[in-house]
Amino acid sequence: MIQTSPSFPDWHGTTILAVRKDGRTVIAGDGQVSMGATIVKGAARKVRTLAGGKVLAGFAGATADAFTLIERLEAKLEQYPDQLARACVDLAKDWRTDRYLRRLEAMLLVADKDAIFTVTGVGDVLEPEYGVAAVGSGGNYALAAARALIDNTDMDAEAVARRAMAIAADICVYTNGNLTVEILGGGRA
């Protein structure tokens, strides 16, 4: 049986990647669900659209915990329409201070047409410097690949995300190539 480490976050079982380029925002997530060394599902959907299609969210960690957090985020987005940063900060504050919520073990990548945020249960709301963010066990592989591709190729945001996720799936045993990809924004800005 796998024990959850108190050194949150230390996830094994997913890769979520967000990429912003040329006016487009993409969040891609793999479909693998692992229980220890066993793959129990290969086509899970870990990326969602929120706020009437204006916001994308992907999650890593305990699925039920992530769904709870996404529901809370949706409520914050209703409370603060078109204010993603404020909704994320408010969620992180609640997550850190509420006795029930602080036990939840998940991480969120959240994006709209203008920004990407990583939201954690330790109170972090981080906006990436280079228009790329990733979470999960394969997150560092996908992040490195996307950072290399985003400025050094003519690939659009979706192509960068798909290629970076393929690289992560080739390296991380907890990541597969069965992707869910959600996109915001039109052509080149």
3-state secondary structure the chain: CCCCCCCCCCCCCCEEEEEEECCEEEEEECCCEEECCEEEECCCCCEEEEHHHCEEEEEEECHHHHHHHHHHHHHHHHHCCCCHHHHHHHHHHHHHHCCCHHHCCEEEEEECCCCEEEECCCCCEECCCCCEEEEECCHHHHHHHHHHHHCCCCCCHHHHHHHHHHHHHHHCCCCCCCCEEEEECCCCC
**Spatial CA neighbour of 111 closest among 49, 162, 187, 45:** 49
Distance CA 140, CA 181 (A): 18
Residue 94: its pLDDT value, please? 87
Residue 170: its pLDDT value, please? 96
Residue 12: its pLDDT value, please? 52
Residue 186: its pLDDT value, please? 63
Average pLDDT, 10 consecutive residues per value, the chain (189 residues): 42 83 96 85 93 95 87 95 96 85 86 94 89 95 97 94 97 94 72
Residue 37: its pLDDT value, please? 80
Q: Which of 4, 14, 63, 68 is catalytic?
A: 14
Residue 39: its pLDDT value, please? 86
Contact 31, 44 (CB under 8 A): yes
Distance CA 174, CA 4 (A): 16
Is 14 one of the annotated active-site residues of the chain? yes
Distance CA 31, CA 142 (A): 15
